[in-house]
Amino acid sequence: MGPGLLFKALLPGGFSLLIFGWTQIPIDIQAVLVLLSGRGELHGMTHTYLGALILAPVAALSGKCLAGHPLQRRARWFQPHPS
| Helix residue ranges per DSSP H, 1-83 | 2-10, 17-37, 49-77
pLDDT (0 to 100) of residue 50 = 92
User: What pLDDT shows up at residue 78?
Assistant: 59
User: Which residue from 23, 4, 13 is spatially nearest to 63, judged by alpha carbons?
Assistant: 23
Q: What is the pLDDT of residue 36?
A: 93
At 79 the pLDDT is 59
Contacts of 23 (CB under 8 A, 6+ apart): 55, 56, 59, 60, 63
| Full pLDDT tens readout for the chain, 83 residues | 888 889 889 988 888 888 888 888 888 888 899 899 988 888 888 888 898 888 888 887 887 777 666 656 655 555 565 65
Q: What is the pTM of this model?
A: 0.60
| C-alpha distances out from residue 63 to 24, 42, 73, Å | 11, 25, 16
